């Protein structure tokens, strides 16, 4: 069992829908990450939160909106997505010291109709 919990595990949505992905960790980690992963490709970094502040945005389209309500929670709000946004969305967390590894959740499999 992973210590980073992501919900939902699967999500199917239309291009006009609004939905949110959720991520939770209780390891006391102060850095949290969102990744997008397409088949047969490595995870692609989207956002990094460090001490609840957005510190890296890898030029992600505004239809993806991250939120970090507290040190344990990370959300990714989705609106007006495109079919090419269908992918596995991974959340990870780590200490913010740049030394310790990231721990990944099981991911949310997102399909855009």
Partner 1 sequence: QKEVEQNSGPLSVPEGAIASLNCTYSDRVSQSFFWYRQYSGKSPELIMSIYSNGDKEDGRFTAQLNKASQYVSLLIRDSQPSDSATYLCAVNSRDSGTYKYIFGTGTRLKVLA
CA-atom Rg of the chain in angstroms: 13
The burial class, CB within 10 Å (0-12 / 13-18 / 19+), for 88 is: middle
For partner 1, which is the closer residue by CB, 16 or 31? 31
Q: Is 11 in the site for partner 1 (CB under 8 A)?
A: no
**Closest distance of CB 16 from partner 1, Å:** 28
Residue 50 to residue 8: CA distance in whole angstroms? 24
Q: Report how many residues bind partner 1 under the rule CB under 8 A.
A: 27
Residue 50, H or E segment? strand 44-50
Among 55, 61, 77, 113, binds partner 1 (CB under 8 A): 55
Chain positions contacting partner 1, by CB under 8 A:
2, 31, 33, 41-43, 45, 48, 50, 55-56, 88, 90, 94, 96-107, 109
């Amino acid at each position: 069992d992973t210590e980073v919990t992501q919900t939902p595990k699967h999500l199917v949505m239309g291009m006009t829908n609004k939905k949110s992905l959720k991520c939770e960790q209780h390891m006391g980690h102060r850095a949290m990450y969102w990744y997008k992963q397409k088949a047969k490709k490595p995870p692609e970094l989207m956002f990094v939160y460090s001490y609840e502040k957005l510190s890296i945005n890898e030029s992600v389209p505004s239809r993806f909106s991250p939120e970090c309500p507290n040190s344990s929670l990370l959300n990714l709000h989705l609106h007006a997505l495109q079919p090419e946004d269908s992918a596995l969305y991974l959340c990870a967390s780590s200490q913010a010291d740049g030394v310790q590894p990231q721990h990944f959740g099981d991911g949310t499999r997102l399909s855009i109709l």
